[in-house]
């Protein structure tokens, strides 16, 4: 099947995001920081934010459970932008080349309120023909429904789309739905994967 559209995840593919960027400034002990990010502001808790839970509510609930970490939990909201890094330059350059040849779409697990803060800071978001944000839809990857929303909204066929994500579970769901899907690890490998799938990656 000929590829007719390219779908990008954002965090970890086009934009750096890692809570350790912030929490290494807060914790002097690396092991305590890792325990905090595993048990307090955990990936599972962050996924509830991606699914649309308001930050203020989520932070208040977490502080009630872990009052000894009240300041550190508040930082997840108040200093969120310190967790977000720069654009991943090689992948943004690839996006710009692909956008000249294909419709490009975004499919991201991202809080609506934090995505609205971030979008104006990166002009490449204007290249997308459509963007589906988990916090708006109240659905998250790797569950299939968020992928289905993208396909339905923009009239896409999964077997005509390439999907790129840094999360293996998300890539596996995409493949089950019929996408040609690649896990991003390095820019060079991504370009090689796309070329192998017949995607024109040159500008």
Give the 3-state secondary structure of residue 153.
Answer: helix
Does the pLDDT at position 137 exceed 80?
A: yes
Tell me the per-residue pLDDT of 147-165, one tens digit each, with 9 for 90 and over: 999 999 999 999 999 999 9
Torsion on CA atoms 131, 136, 141, 144, rounded to nearest 10: -90
Q: Listing from the earlier edge strand, what are the strands of the sheet with 104-108? A: 130-133, 104-108, 5-8, 161-165, 180-183
Residues of the chain with pLDDT > 90, as a percent, come to 98
**Other beta carbons less than 10 A from residue 203's beta carbon:** 11
What would the mean pLDDT of 106-129 be, rounded to a whole number?
Answer: 97
- Structural tokens at position 22: 């912030």
pTM (two decimals): 0.95
Tell me the per-residue pLDDT of 48-98, one tens digit each, with 9 for 90 and over: 999 999 999 999 999 999 999 999 999 999 999 999 999 999 999 999 999
What would the mean pLDDT of 20-30 be, rounded to a whole number?
Answer: 98
Does the pLDDT at position 20 exceed 90?
A: yes
Tell me the per-residue pLDDT of 158-187, one tens digit each, with 9 for 90 and over: 999 999 999 999 999 999 999 999 999 999
Q: What fold does the segment set 5-16+85-196 form as a domain?
A: Rossmann fold (3.40.50)
What would the mean pLDDT of 20-47 be, rounded to a whole number?
Answer: 98
- 198 conformational bin, left if phi > 0, alpha if psi -120 to 50, beta if neither: left
Under the banding of pLDDT at 50, 70 and 90, the label for residue 203 is low
Where are the domains positioned within the chain? 5-16+85-196, 19-82
Mean pLDDT for the chain overall: 97
């Amino acid at each position: 099947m000929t590829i007719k559209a390219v779908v990008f995840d954002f965090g970890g593919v086009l934009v750096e995001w890692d809570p350790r960027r912030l929490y290494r400034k807060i914790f002097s002990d690396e092991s305590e920081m890792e325990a905090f990010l595993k048990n307090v502001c955990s990936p599972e808790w962050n996924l509830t934010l991606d699914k649309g839970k308001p930050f203020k509510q989520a932070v208040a609930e977490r502080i009630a459970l872990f009052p000894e970490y009240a300041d550190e939990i508040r930082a997840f909201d108040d200093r969120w932008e310190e967790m977000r890094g720069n654009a991943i330059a090689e992948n943004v350059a690839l996006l710009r080349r692909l956008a000249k040849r294909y419709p490009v779409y975004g499919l991201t697990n991202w809080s609506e309120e934090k995505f609205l803060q971030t979008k104006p800071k990166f002009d490449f978001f204007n290249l997308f023909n459509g963007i589906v944000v988990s916090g708006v839809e109240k659905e998250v990857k790797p569950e299939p429904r968020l992928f289905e929303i993208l396909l339905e909204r923009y009239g896409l066929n999964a077997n005509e789309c390439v999907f790129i994500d840094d999360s293996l579970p998300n890539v596996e769901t995409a493949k089950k739905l019929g996408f040609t899907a690649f896990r991003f690890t390095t820019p060079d490998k991504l370009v090689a994967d796309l070329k192998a799938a017949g995607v024109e990656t040159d500008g």
